[in-house]
Amino acid sequence: MSCTTILVGKKASYDGSTIISRNDDGGFDAKKILVMEPGKQPGKYKSVIGHLSLKLPEDPLRYTFIPNVSKKEGIWPACGINEANVAMTATETITSNPRVQGADPLVKYQPKKGRKEKEVPGGIGEEDLVVLVLPYIRSAREGVLRLGSLLKEYGTYEMNGIAFSDADEVWWMETIGGHHWIAKRVPDDRVVIMPNQFGLDSFDFEDAYGKKKDHLCSEDLREFVEKNHLDLAQGNEFDPRLAFGSRSDSDHIYNTPRAWFMARYFLPRTFKWDGDGADYTPESNDIPWSFVPEQKVTIEDVKYLLSSHFQGTPYDPYDRVSPLHGKYRSIGVPNSDDSGILQIRGYLPEEIRAVEWISLGGSGFTSCFPFYTNVKTLPAYLSGTTERISTDHLYWHSRLIAALTDAQYYSAVILDERYQNAVLNRGRALLQEYDGKILSGAPASLLEEANQKIADMVKEESDHALDAILKNASEKMKTRYHRNDN
C-alpha cells in the first residue's frame, strides 16, 4: 500500500498550526468521509484481515474518518481528527530488512488447517489503527503510547508509519518487526518527508529511556538492537534508518525519488539537486528525514506536493521529450483513494481549531478543500458515497475528472488547474467567513452550515470542471470525422 507523508511543525507552518498529511494510495477503493459519534463506536472490534477480536475502552471521543465504502477488507479509516482536536493518519507503509524480520517476525493470520488446530489471529494494521487509537487519546503523545501498548500486546502484520498531532506537537511513529516501535517528536521548526521507506535517521536513546521529551520507543528496543546486532552506524550516533530500514534497488525507483522531489521543493537553494556534483540525487539513500524549510509552509504547498509528478524535471511521466520520463514512481498517482491534510490551528478557539483539507479519488488532479471537524454530521456529497458511480458524491465526481484529465493531459491540465485553484480560493474564503462568525460569538452549531456551503461549492465547481474536461476529451476522440457536403 504505497503512500506519501508530509509533516509540518508549528514554527515551520505559515500560521503557527501543526500539519500532518498523507496520500492514501490504495486499489481504487471508493471512499466517504464520516463522523463517528461516541454512542456508535463499537465496544468490541474484530478485524477482517487479522481476524483479531479485542475489547475497546468505554469512553470514546467523537472523531472523523475516511473509510472504504466496501467493507470486504475492513474499515481502512485513513485519517481523522477527534473532538479533543488530536489528529492521526495511519498508515504510511514502510520498509524493513531481513535482520529485523528474523528477530521479531510480523504477526500474520494463520487459518485453521485441520480439526484439531485453531486459527491464529494476526496483529493489527492499517485496516484498524485509527479506529483503535484516535477515539481514546487527548494528545499526540498519548496516541503514540496507546498504539505502542497495542503493538506490544497484539503485534502487527505489516511495517507502518503513523503520524499524530495536536495544537503543540507532531509525533512520527514507526513499527519495527512484529512488536517493536520507535517514535520521535517533529521539531517545531522542521518539515518531515516520508516516501514509503523507514524514515527516522537519528534517535536519542538517553531521552527515550530518561525524560522522554522528544523520543519514545518500545521498553526493550535498545536491548533488541544490541542482541540482534542491528546497529550499523560507524561511530557513536545511532541511525535507526540503517538499523531498521532498507536501501534496495526498488527503493531507488519507488521511494527515494519522491523524497528527493519533496526536499528539492522545500530546499531549492540550500543544496544542489540536479546535474553533476548534486548533493542529492533521486537515488540517494541519505536524504534527510527532517529539515528547516527555506520558507514557511502552506496548505497549498502540501497539496501541490501530494499531487506532484516530478514537474520541471526529466522524470515527469507527461514529458513528451525526455528519455527519462516515467522512470520513477510519482507522488500523485491515479490509485490515490484520498489525500488528507490535517491542520490544528492552536491560535483559535477549540471549536474551530481543527480543519481537514481533503481530496478524494486520485490526488494528482483532484480538488482540495477544508471542512470543520467539530461537527456531528457531514454533507451527503461527502458522506454518502456508494459503490455505484454517481456525480452526486465527491469521490466519483473527482475520479471522473482525474481520469479524463490524465487521458488528455496537455489540453485538459489547464482546465483542471483552474478548477483546483477555484476550489482552494473559495474554500479559503468560506473558512475565513465562518472563522469570523464564530470569533464574533456565533454558536458552534453553525459549523455544519459552513460544511454544507463548502460541499455545495465543491460540487458546483466540480460540475463545471467535469463539463469542460469531458467536452475537451470528447473533441479529442480518435474516431472523430468531419464531412463537408458543400
The cell for 245 is 530500514
Which string of DSSP letters, residue by residue, matches 387-447?
SS--TTSHHHHHHHHHHHHHHTHHHHHHHHHHHHHHHHHHHHHHHHHHHHHHHTT--TTHH
Pairing relationship of beta strands 215-217 and 191-194 according to DSSP bridges:
unpaired
The cell for 427 is 474554500
Cα 33 from Cα 7, distance rounded (Å):
22
Q: Which of 3, 79, 217, 368 is catalytic?
A: 3
Cα 375 from Cα 360, distance rounded (Å):
20
Among residues 437, 419, 406, the alpha carbon closest in space to that of 369 is found at 419
Please give the order of strands across the beta sheet that includes 290-291: 290-291, 191-194, 3-8, 18-25, 336-344, 354-360, 369-372
Structural element, H or E, at residue 133: helix 129-133
Do 320 and 332 contact (CB within 8 A), yes or no?
Answer: no
Q: Is 217 a catalytic residue?
A: no
The cell for 423 is 476550489
256-266 helix and 299-306 helix, angle to the nearest 10 degrees: 150
Do 21 and 161 contact (CB within 8 A), yes or no?
Answer: no
Do 216 and 183 contact (CB within 8 A), yes or no?
Answer: yes
Distance of CA 84 to the CA centre of its chain: 20
The DSSP output letter for 59 is -
Give the C-alpha distances (Å, rounded to integers) separating 383 from 350, 373, 394. 24, 13, 9
Give the C-alpha distances (Å, rounded to integers) separating 254 from 2, 124, 282. 9, 25, 10
Give residues with Cβ within 8 angstroms of 349, minimum separation 6: 438, 439
Q: Which residues are catalytic?
A: 3
